[in-house]
Amino acid sequence: MAFSELAYKALQDILGSENISNDPAICQAYSRVQWLPSGVLQRERCGLNMRPACVVMPGCTEDVQRILQVANRYKFPFVPRGSGFTFSAFPTQAGTVVIDPKRMDRIIELNEKDMYAVIEPYVSFVGLQAEAMKCGLYTPTPLAGSQVSCLANYAWHGAYGNSWITGIGAQNLLGFELVLPDGEVVRSGSMACPGAGSFWNDGPGPDLRGFLRSGMFGHAGGMGVVTKISCKLWPYAGPAEFPCEGTANMKFSSSLGENWKWFMIKFPFAYPEEEELELRKSAELFYEMGKAEIAEVATHLAQQFLYTYSSVTKQDLFDNMKNNVFPSGFCVVALQGKTSPEQLAYEERVLRDIVKKVGGIFVAEDEPAYQVWIKRAANEWIRFGNAQRLSRSSDCFSIGSSNVDSIDQIVYEILESNRLGRDLLKDEGLGKDFVQPLSINGGWISPQEHGYWCLHTTDVFPEQAVDQCNQAMEIIGRVTKSMFARKSAAAAIHMIGPAYDFFGPMMGDVHLIVKGLKREFDPRNLSNPGYASRPDVVSPEELAKMMGGH
Amino acid sequence: MAESLQTVQELSGKVADIAGSGRVFTAGDMLDKYAANAGCSRTVRPDIVAQVSTREQVQALVRLANEQGVPVVPRSSATGFYGGSVPEQGGIVIDMSGMKKILRIDPKNRWALIEPGVTYGELQAGLAEKGLTAILPLAPHPDKSVITSCLEREPKLTPKHHLDETIMTMELVLPTGGFFHTGSMAVSQEPPEKVQEEAHTDLCNFMGPGLDWFRLVPGSLGTYGIVTAMNMKIGIKPILQKLVFFGFKSLKEAVEPWYYLLRKLIGDECLLLNSRYLALLLAQDDGDIEKLQAALPPYTILLNLAAGDYRPEEKIAYLEKAVQDAARIFQLQPMEALPHAQDGAAALQGILSKPWDNGAGYWKWRGRGASREVFFLTQLQRAPEFLSELQAAAAAQGYPLADMGLYLQPKQNGRAFYMEAGFPFSSGAPSEQARADAVHAAASSRLVDTGAFFYRVYGPWTELVYGRTGNLQKTLQRIKRTLDPQNILNPGKLGL
Amino acid sequence: MAIEKIEYDATHCQRCSTCKWSHLWEVKSHRFARNCPSLVYGKFDTYAAQGKNDIVTGLLKGELTWEDSKDRLLEIIYRCPVCAACDVSCKRVMDLDIIGVLDALREEACEKGHGPLPAHREFIQSIMNYDNVWKQPRNRRAGWAKKLDIKDLARAGETADVLYYVGCTYAYKPGMETVPVNTAKLLKAAGIDFGILGAKEICCGGIADNVGDKKSFEEIARKNLDMFKATGAKTIVTNCPGCFMAFSEKYARMLKIDTAALPYTVKHSTQFIAELLQAGKLKFTKPLDMTVTWHDPCHLGRRGEPYRHWEGKRVKFGLTEPPREMNRGVSGIYEAPRAILKAIPGLRLVEMERIKEYSWCCGSGGGAKSAYPDFALATAKERVEEAEATGAGSIVTACPWCESNLSDGIDASGSRLRVEDILDLAVRAL
């Protein structure tokens, strides 16, 4: 449906002419997602339909309500977004309005005693982090980088450098305020109760976070617009502020002070020939650390992350690969002395006991791997997640496989996806033009909440060319097909958008439940229609084809 | 279309076909037993009670209920406290408290997969031999089902962040009668204990699919689905433990030191009890309660220092030093024993590690027989304010303040605190019950007005809370409408 | 099309929004976490580097045309001080030539005849007519130097080691003549053999290049190069960072050589004075009881890096062949002015949050002040607020455009801050 002039005028009356634009030049900046192969292909497929009919900038919740009321009156679709990074933050059909929250950028409250903050959609992690650190607290920092919207990340998906402690985005969200697709506001948690403050999440009664979010992802704006959240902050024993070391200290990242200690641990196995042994030993390390309840960071980084995140320039990245700085994956552990120096010392002794027990070896400080990772990237892993440096190698990347389950199952999934990736490369040449060996040597193990569960992603690094992006999608499709064939837990998390129709029947007809909720709350299908269970981007038939008729 | 059954007898016949004839009740004391809960006044008899023993029976009953348009009320515990399993609109109570299988224990990934009727005592027994422990609330009733406790969001004794939400995957019977597996259990439709035989999963992803059921179902009082199996996080039994106590004359005095202890992550299990509640827990006999209460500090923080396999003595040593540092900063006197409570520390270690097992009844009812509790969440810095409200409400009704119990439980390292006030009364005295009910009502109303967060919504709190939360109840209703188009599951609860 | 040369850079923007925030390492508060004046003022993403990348991509792919939206395109392109804060932030994670994209868009606008804007054309025409941007008579250019007995290197036979180049604004703007006067005092005090071009000095031409008029720029630049050669001076010292950047970076770029290969060395006055202090040729003895904060001018700092010429192409994965060393703001001039301030007895330097190559632009560069005075003023007010937050009584800088715009910002804010030129302070401390 074309976006009507009447609708535009109504929005203009609400927001003021300076906060709305349908100028093609303005709208062009909201039309492109390039870092993902699926984004590239989405662009190819949807073309100019990805350019919104107009962009609106609400300044408060009431503005958002009115925008959505106008949307319902004139029946135009809208897409809410945070910083607009991820592939779901873009229109997929003509006549869509993008809601840019840039004017809603307040940290409304930062409660040092009760360790939470209340924020609006355009507050970035980096701003919140700076304020939190002043109070002896800190936020998790997403791998996408702290320049992204904290609210959007928690409502959508986020994994963090310190997930060993914090869990993922879902675990960091407290209460929220949501403008439903019809323009009504609902608040959850203590935020819903007058005078109760915003410190808590569940209830009253059922926890509406269960409605807002799902699995790895949220509904990508398919159930309305989140206009406020409260979120967790975590005890932090590092510097409140960091000196400006600019001139862009390209080699070393600021120390987190004497209450933090970093370690890298390796295992004496040949890589990639003995990859399985290395991963299983890493798993054993994390299981023991979980039982001992030590550490602030515990993760296994594969070459993919090690090279990209520690790189200073693209040439540096490729030089490091050429020089085999990271001949394998490594486990990275950080200890934080939150209780006392004695606690830090104790945890180090225990870590050494565990490493010895599982047959690990501490990487010496003068080894290239330590110098490059710990000195350059480790502290950034905590402070702000390294930003989009994952793209650095080929200016594009995609998650090739992902899983959430136990540490052992994550190791299993990594091995399967690496094996499959290598087979596809060898037998069919899929990915031959990608950055190798980065694209077949995945192995990010991210244990969560002291190892009670675990997350991984392995990525592929094509260039931003349609044929390579198609190859990337083919690889992803084959991996997904393999997950279902193997009945891997990984299959349970790939539920977003068109995947619902295809996979839903295998999972208790969940697609019908989600579609039912979508119909209930958004009967006109106006709230990000492409991403809440409607197959507008990839049809079930195409998905079936990708899955090889599985 | 299924034949519509007009009489309870006809319906109970169909129910008996599913549950077995000796397991279905339509009259008498049995219905009275399911009409009431210990902690609430309201009684509503169901029409039929079905005691089931398999998940298939649960599913079949829900399907029958959908065919007939009859309400179904799930119940997992042999005892109920706040009316969650008391019907609002009659119907069939499905009693799963007899489903007592511990289906699987995974020591490596630290979870246990259990059926709805498994109690904490049964679970602890199953875990103990493996050196494991359930993540316990405070001295739960021996008949309390673990799953009920998780679904009701009873606070855990440990404030550790990662042990606050303990639910992992679940099998649900949806209101429309289908089985539904949540989280990584979703990759197989086999019965929960068989899922891992055919699928590559360790049941450790609790999120999705479609919705985060592990958040939506708890607190829903069985209105969104019936849990027929759940795996939840468990812990490792400590090798070494030591209880430390801090006594305070007022709650206000405890606030800053406690913030400090929690921010510094000192210790494991951590709670505050007033002298009444502590005496109820500790007294050897009911007759000792008053004397013990008079000897104990008005408010006591119990802090358990615990260590596992790795250098346990060293861990206890650094924790003790941290306690000493805290004591110095706040001029506290940490105690390793409690006045007039012989072996109090050892006794409390026992109490904190298992369900209540000191004789008949329940510790909160000792000396009286029954109790009303008001509980909510708060920020610690507001707890003294809410305590004043509770005391004022009690005093206004002539309730003896010395009888009032108080329990504060930090959650997630002190991000929030569960606060509970107990008002015991003599179960055989209608006037005392009436007074306790009046205190409960007055305190609840006052607390909601002043911003206490009633996160669990039972009975009279439904209107009190949802009357102030804008569109929240309406949103829950809309979700309910989608999941349960015929409004079969526990209708009326939460006003849904 | 000018934008074809930066096609890779624009089309490979990841849309990560790193360009919109101060370097993540350096953010010290939520309040002062932003880095892009264009975006803060314009709000829509289009005004950020990411938006401009999308504009380029749109123009290249034919999704967007000048006809669609000419006025808005010009606003997007020119309501930007081209301060390169976006470029520095982006390069933290990627290897894209963001400043090249901004420059190319301006060049494209001029190529198509849509740019530069009328206010810019005025400047350029003034240069052509009067050899300065202020439409002032040539013979008044060296008015500040009267009675100062400074060598006139434009005279035949006159030579010196150092050519002191004053620049249009310091030469002509009322109130700013103290800067060249004080510079001359400092050079004399240090015993430096220097001279000026006097009335023969002409505009550096930087402004023409800034707005995309490469042709006019080249014409002016070549005149200057001939004049410099004629003086025989090996070192050019200038106060104006715009001129500094022109001589150091833009001229080298035009000639397609490295800055190091230019026939002269160019230094900003703060660099030169700092070296003199270091060598003991200058000494500050009079204390100044002041608390000041230093504002890093963009063209001195992140845009003041030497130019490294590169001709090559992007190959697989976006690597460059031959390998290209990109400027990342690292080697701008940050320490020299701070060394001067720290050498002044009694003076206390307190830093703002956004400093060095993460500095918040004053808002006047790139032709923004002349074409979009409201934008420039708003940007300056942001900086004034940041300066006030330090508790300093003065904001010190070394750029006539910064000084002018910050003064306007102070007046508009009602702030009690004073703007000081660093060399004025230096002379007071001599």
Lowest mean pLDDT among A167-181, A510-524, A532-546, B194-208: A532-546
The rounded radius of gyration (Å) of the Cα atoms in chain C is 21
Claim to verify: residue A351 and residue A397 sit in the same structural domain? yes
Q: Is residue A16 part of a domain?
A: no
Q: Is B351:B269 a contact under the CB 8 Å cutoff?
A: no
pLDDT in tens, C31-41: 999 999 999 99
Claim to verify: residue A153 and residue A257 sit in the same structural domain? no
Claim to verify: residue A434 and residue A297 sit in the same structural domain? yes
Q: Could you identify the residue written with the tokens 């339509």?
A: B26
Please give the residue of chain C at the shortest CA–CA distance from A44. Answer: C61
Average pLDDT for A268-280: 94
Between C246 and A156, whose confidence is greater?
C246
Confidence of residue A531 (pLDDT cuts 50, 70, 90): low
Q: Is B421:B443 a contact under the CB 8 Å cutoff?
A: yes
A491 touches chain B (CB under 8 A): yes
Confidence of residue A534 (pLDDT cuts 50, 70, 90): very low
CATH number at residue A263: 3.40.462.10
Q: Is B494:B476 a contact under the CB 8 Å cutoff?
A: yes
- Please indicate whether, in this complex, the C-beta atoms of A405 and B201 are within 8 angstroms of each other: yes
Claim to verify: residue A436 and residue A310 sit in the same structural domain? yes
- Please indicate whether, in this complex, the C-beta atoms of A34 and C11 are within 8 angstroms of each other: yes
Of A405, A429, A464, which marks where a domain is finished?
A464
Cα B17 to Cα A23, B20, B67, distances in angstroms? 69, 6, 15
> Is the Cα torsion angle B180, B118, B142, B413 positive or negative in sign?
negative
Collect all residues of chain B within an 8 Å Cβ-Cβ radius of residue A292.
Answer: 308-310
Q: Is A66:A76 a contact under the CB 8 Å cutoff?
A: no
Confidence of residue B437 (pLDDT cuts 50, 70, 90): very high
CA atoms within 13 A on the CB side of C364: 21
Q: Is residue A21 part of a domain?
A: no
pLDDT of residue B1: 58
Interface of C with A in 181-220 (CB under 8 A): none
Collect all residues of chain C within an 8 Å Cβ-Cβ radius of residue A130.
Answer: 27-30, 33
- Please indicate whether, in this complex, the C-beta atoms of A391 and C88 are within 8 angstroms of each other: no
- Please indicate whether, in this complex, the C-beta atoms of B153 and A180 are within 8 angstroms of each other: no
Please give the residue of chain C at the shortest CA–CA distance from A124. Answer: C30
Of A464, A483, A505, which marks where a domain is finished?
A464
d(CA C54, CA C32): 26
Average pLDDT for C166-172: 96
Q: What percent of chain C has pLDDT over 70?
A: 100
Collect all residues of chain A within an 8 Å Cβ-Cβ radius of residue B308.
Answer: 291-293
Collapsed DSSP state (helix, strand, coil) of residue B302: strand
Claim to verify: residue A381 and residue A296 sit in the same structural domain? yes
The torsion angle over the Cα atoms of residues A482, A484, A485 and A487, rounded to 10 degrees, is 120
d(CA C222, CA C61): 36
Domains of chain A: total: 2
Nearest to A25 among C15, C26, C72 (CB): C72
pLDDT of residue B6: 75
- Please indicate whether, in this complex, the C-beta atoms of A489 and B202 are within 8 angstroms of each other: yes
Q: String of b and e for C280-301 (b: at least 16 CB within 10 Å)? A: eebebeeebebebbbbbbbbbb
Compute CA A503 distance to the chain's CA centroid, rounded to the nearest angstrom.
22
Phi, psi of C72 (to 5 degrees): -65, -40
The torsion angle over the Cα atoms of residues A129, A130, A133 and A137, rounded to 10 degrees, is -30
Q: Is residue A19 part of a domain?
A: no
Q: Is A21:A28 a contact under the CB 8 Å cutoff?
A: no
Q: Is residue A540 part of a domain?
A: no
Claim to verify: residue A328 and residue A229 sit in the same structural domain? no
Q: Does B touch C (3+ CB pairs < 8 Å)? A: no
Please give the residue of chain B at the shortest CA–CA distance from A169. Answer: B207
Q: Is A426 exposed, middle or buried (0-12, 13-18, 19+ CB in 10 A)?
A: exposed
Q: Is residue A346 part of a domain?
A: yes
pLDDT of residue A550: 38
pLDDT at A120 over 70: yes
Claim to verify: residue A270 and residue A126 sit in the same structural domain? no
Q: Is C301:C333 a contact under the CB 8 Å cutoff?
A: yes
Contact residues for C114 (Cβ-Cβ < 8 A; gap 6+): C66, C70, C73, C74
d(CA A84, CA A71): 20
pLDDT of residue A230: 98
Q: Is residue A96 part of a domain?
A: no
Claim to verify: residue A229 and residue A273 sit in the same structural domain? no
Q: Which residue, A104, A116, A382, is CA-closest to A231? A: A116
pLDDT of residue A497: 66
Collapsed DSSP state (helix, strand, coil) of residue A53: coil
A209 touches chain B (CB under 8 A): yes
Ordered by where they begin, the domains of chain C are 1-115 (1.10.1060), 119-278 (3.40.50)
Collapsed DSSP state (helix, strand, coil) of residue B391: helix
Q: Is B473:B495 a contact under the CB 8 Å cutoff?
A: yes
DSSP C238-270: ES-HHHHHIIIIIHHHHHTS-GGGSSSEEEEHH
pLDDT of residue A544: 57
Peptide bond into A498 cis (omega under 30): no
d(CA A144, CA B346): 50
pLDDT of residue A247: 57
Q: String of b and e for B54-68 (b: at least 16 CB within 10 Å)? A: bbebbbbbbbbbbbb
Q: Is residue A87 part of a domain?
A: no
Claim to verify: residue A313 and residue A193 sit in the same structural domain? no
Claim to verify: residue A421 and residue A324 sit in the same structural domain? yes
Chains that touch A (3 or more CB pairs under 8 A): B, C
* Closest CA–CA distance from residue A200 to any residue of chain C (Å): 23
d(CA C116, CA A70): 40
Claim to verify: residue A310 and residue A217 sit in the same structural domain? no
CA atoms within 13 A on the CB side of C187: 30
Phi, psi of A350 (to 5 degrees): -65, -40
Interface of B with A in 4-63 (CB under 8 A): none
Averaged confidence pLDDT in chain A: 90
Q: Is residue A201 part of a domain?
A: yes
d(CA B79, CA B33): 9
Chains that touch B (3 or more CB pairs under 8 A): A
Please report the ipTM that was assigned to this predicted complex.
0.96
Q: Is C232:C159 a contact under the CB 8 Å cutoff?
A: yes
pLDDT in tens, B446-469: 999 999 999 999 999 999 999 999
According to DSSP, residue B83 is labeled S
pLDDT at A546 over 60: no
d(CA B392, CA B445): 12
* Closest CA–CA distance from residue A280 to any residue of chain B (Å): 14
Q: Is C338:C349 a contact under the CB 8 Å cutoff?
A: yes
CATH number at residue A174: 3.30.465.10
Average pLDDT for A224-241: 96
Q: Could you identify the residue written with the tokens 């004497």?
A: A258
Confidence of residue A549 (pLDDT cuts 50, 70, 90): very low
pLDDT at B4 over 80: no
Q: Which residue, A131, A39, A166, A152, is CA-closest to A90? A: A39
Q: Which residue, A121, A48, A147, A124, is CA-closest to A90? A: A48
Of A193, A209, A235, which marks where a domain is finished?
A235
Which residue type is seen at B96?
Answer: M
Claim to verify: residue A138 and residue A176 sit in the same structural domain? yes
Q: Which residue, C64, B214, B399, is CA-closest to A24? A: C64
Phi, psi of C260 (to 5 degrees): -65, -20
Lowest mean pLDDT among A74-83, A266-275, A390-399, C353-362: A390-399
Cα B73 to Cα B62, B222, C84, distances in angstroms? 10, 7, 65
- Domain containing residue A168: 107-235
Collect all residues of chain A within an 8 Å Cβ-Cβ radius of residue B452.
Answer: 196
CA atoms within 13 A on the CB side of C208: 22
d(CA C209, CA A424): 51
Interface of A with B in 375-434 (CB under 8 A): 403-409, 412-413
H helices of A300-450, where? 303-310, 314-322, 341-358, 368-372, 379-383, 407-428
Q: Which residue, A228, A231, A225, A217, is CA-closest to A141? A: A231
Interface of B with A in 389-418 (CB under 8 A): 412-416
How wide is the angle at C-alpha C251 spanned by C-alphas C250 and C255, nearest 5°?
115
* Closest CA–CA distance from residue A530 to any residue of chain C (Å): 20
d(CA A301, CA A326): 10
pLDDT in tens, A439-483: 988 899 999 999 999 999 999 999 998 899 889 989 988 998 899
Most confident by average pLDDT, A22-36, A152-166, A203-217, C234-248: C234-248
Q: Which residue, B178, C287, B384, is CA-closest to A509? A: B178
